[in-house]
Amino acid sequence: MKKLYLYNTLSRKKEEFKPIKTSSRPSPSKGEGEKRVVSFYHCGPTVYWTQHIGNLRGMVCADLIRRVFEYNGYKFKHVRNYTDVGHLTGDNLGDADSGEDRMEKAAKREKLDPQKIAEKYIKEFEKDTKELNILEPTKKPRATKYIKEMIGMIEVLIKKDFAYTTDLAVYFDITKAKDYTRLSGQKLEDCISGAGKGDVSDSQKKCPSDFALWFFKAGKHKNALQFWPSPFKSSLVKNGEGFPGWHIECSAMSKKLLGDTIDIHMGGIEHAPVHHTNEIAQSESANGVEFTKYWLHNEHLLVNNKKMAKSEGTGFSLSEVKDKGFSPSALRYFFLQAHYRSKQNFTWEAMEAAESGLRHLKNQIRELGFYDSKGVYIKISGEKYINDNFKNKFLEVINDDFNIPQALAIVQDLLKSDLTKNEKLSTIKDFNKVLGLGLDKPKQKRGLPVEIKNLIKSRKKARQEKNFKESDKLRDKIEKFGYIIEDTKDGMRIFKK
């Protein structure tokens, strides 16, 4: 295996990846010795609303990282959670313990119970991830299924004197955490003095920056729709009824499914100063060992160089992208053009360029001979045709902190090279294991509907008569049916999007 390097937010530098575990396989004599294992936890969505494409970009980034590890021969244990309780709206203001529970807000908005809200938006999210060709995680835990584990971790934190109870909540005392701000790089004094910009309504709280592990069904949460009994004591509720804070969920689920120490934890850059900082504090205080070796964070997707916002009408969903006539694969291709640690600017013009670029790339591959004269797909044989020189170049860039934009450039270099068709096709098929763009099998040609054939016939006539205005109108009609027209020196070509 070649060395793989990644940028660790915790150390603020690029490091060689060294896994915690290897697994032994039974037949070393057959070349099946040790296989290195990656434990990977990815902060998934809060399932109260349709996920915008900024969130989906984060999912594609994680998918690419997984594909790179698997391309390198690692076994990848991938956990991506669903938050279906405890994520409060104050997180938008930098205060994750204030505001209304997002699931309850959605339940009131749509007049459904929180469980049905979760099921609705999980289903919608998984449809989006499938269309974007994102691989299924090993485990997809829902927070509400791990309440027992969260309570158990909170009990340990109270016993070890890292947490304390008020009448409204159980809090983690950040002053007792070891090097609390090492992920964010903030000074603890600044963190404390600048805390509580949102709603701080608990007078018994020791420090404004202490964060909630458990909210009692009291105060502003007395009418909570989701609540469970607990062993924690409050004079305001019976049986400790309440619900978990957002941060404890990921700590409990990752511990249960991946162990006390994991290889990689990933999420959006916005999670580093609060959510991930708090995960480290509570996990390491409860478990007594390092929580995560490598922290990865993807940057934001902007729209017209501004922050995405539903209030501004720029929180676009995948459905809205499709309604504009763009394919999910074009959106994936657009995402691949920027490094995961770089901001990326979304515009409709950029999507047009991505759709055109991907179509051109697939047409280049079609020209190599994926299909015979009757349009039947030709199965490309084997690894023996994969070009080692290009494969090594490809590995070098993807193993350098997952440089996917440079990997796309290598694909173009490959297509321009003097390799044989079999070498090009086999090597591209191999690269597609990482890229996930369907380059290994472009869509098979099929017979066109009669309506489309008639439109093409009319357009050919219009072009022969040099009636280009009519020709353009007919092109638009054809494209509304989901087909792409290309005018070449050899004539008109049409492809299904």
Spatial separation of the C-alpha atoms in residues 332 and 436, rounded to whole Å: 9
Domain for residue 484, yes or no?
yes
Tell me: do 150 and 288 sit in the same domain.
yes
pLDDT reading at 278 higher than 70? yes
Tell me: do 340 and 461 sit in the same domain.
no
Q: Is 310 annotated as a binding residue?
A: yes
Mean pLDDT on 188-195 = 62
Spatial separation of the C-alpha atoms in residues 305 and 62, rounded to whole Å: 23
Give 190's pLDDT tier (boundaries 50, 70, 90): low
Between 26 and 215, name the one with better pLDDT: 215
Mean pLDDT on 103-107 = 96
pLDDT reading at 28 higher than 50? no
**Nearest CA to 402 among 12, 14, 11?**
14
Spatial separation of the C-alpha atoms in residues 164 and 158, rounded to whole Å: 6
Domain for residue 332, yes or no?
yes
How confident is the model at residue 218, as a pLDDT?
Answer: 96
pLDDT reading at 252 higher than 60? yes
Among 389, 408, 435, where does a domain finish? 435
Question: Among 169-183, 276-290, 297-311, 448-462, where is mean pLDDT lowest?
Answer: 448-462
In the numeric block, the tokens 């991506």 are attached to 80
Give 444's pLDDT tier (boundaries 50, 70, 90): very low
Residues in the chain: 497
Domain for residue 304, yes or no?
no
Q: How many domains does the chain have?
A: 3
Contacts of 150 (CB under 8 A, 6+ apart): 213, 214, 244, 248, 249, 252
Tell me: do 142 and 255 sit in the same domain.
yes
Domain for residue 12, yes or no?
no
Question: Among 34-48, 148-162, 400-414, where is mean pLDDT lowest?
Answer: 34-48
* One-letter amino acid of 124: E
Domain for residue 30, yes or no?
no
Taking a C-beta distance cutoff of 8 angstroms, is the pair 425, 365 a contact? yes
Tell me: do 149 and 254 sit in the same domain.
yes
Question: Among 162-166, 193-197, 329-333, 404-408, where is mean pLDDT lowest?
Answer: 193-197
How confident is the model at residue 99, as a pLDDT?
Answer: 92
Give 191's pLDDT tier (boundaries 50, 70, 90): low
Domain for residue 13, yes or no?
no
Mean pLDDT on 168-184 = 95
Give 319's pLDDT tier (boundaries 50, 70, 90): very high
* One-letter amino acid of 174: I
Q: Is 496 annotated as a binding residue?
A: no
For the chain, give me the number of helices (H) and strands (E)? 15, 16
Tens digit of each residue's pLDDT (9 = 90 or more) over 347-393: 999 999 999 999 999 888 887 765 554 455 556 556 778 999 999 99
Tell me: do 394 and 467 sit in the same domain.
no
Spatial separation of the C-alpha atoms in residues 260 and 252, rounded to whole Å: 9
How confident is the model at residue 422, as a pLDDT?
Answer: 86
How confident is the model at residue 436, as a pLDDT?
Answer: 97
Mean of the per-residue pLDDT values for the chain?
90
Q: Is 191 annotated as a binding residue?
A: no
Domain for residue 5, yes or no?
no
Tell me: do 294 and 335 sit in the same domain.
no
**Nearest CA to 291 among 324, 255, 319, 323?**
255
Residue-number span of the structural domain to which 71 is assigned: 36-298
Taking a C-beta distance cutoff of 8 angstroms, is the pair 69, 4 a contact? yes
Tell me: do 401 and 474 sit in the same domain.
no
Question: Among 80-89, 346-355, 479-488, where is mean pLDDT lowest?
Answer: 479-488
Q: Which CATH number fits the domain that encloses residue 323?
A: 1.10.730.10
Between 445 and 411, name the one with better pLDDT: 411
Among 270, 298, 326, where does a domain finish? 298
Domain for residue 255, yes or no?
yes
Q: Which CATH number fits the domain that encloses residue 96?
A: 3.40.50.620
In the numeric block, the tokens 């991946």 are attached to 258
Mean pLDDT on 307-326 = 89
Tens digit of each residue's pLDDT (9 = 90 or more) over 135-146: 999 999 999 999
pLDDT reading at 24 higher than 60? no
Query: The tokens of 72 are what?
Result: 């390198």
In the numeric block, the tokens 């991938």 are attached to 78
Q: Is 78 annotated as a binding residue?
A: no
Tell me: do 420 and 454 sit in the same domain.
no
Between 147 and 373, name the one with better pLDDT: 147
Tell me: do 290 and 356 sit in the same domain.
no
Among 234, 269, 298, where does a domain finish? 298
Tell me: do 325 and 206 sit in the same domain.
no
Tell me: do 260 and 406 sit in the same domain.
no
Give 29's pLDDT tier (boundaries 50, 70, 90): very low
Tell me: do 98 and 243 sit in the same domain.
yes
Contacts of 389 (CB under 8 A, 6+ apart): none
How confident is the model at residue 376, as a pLDDT?
Answer: 54
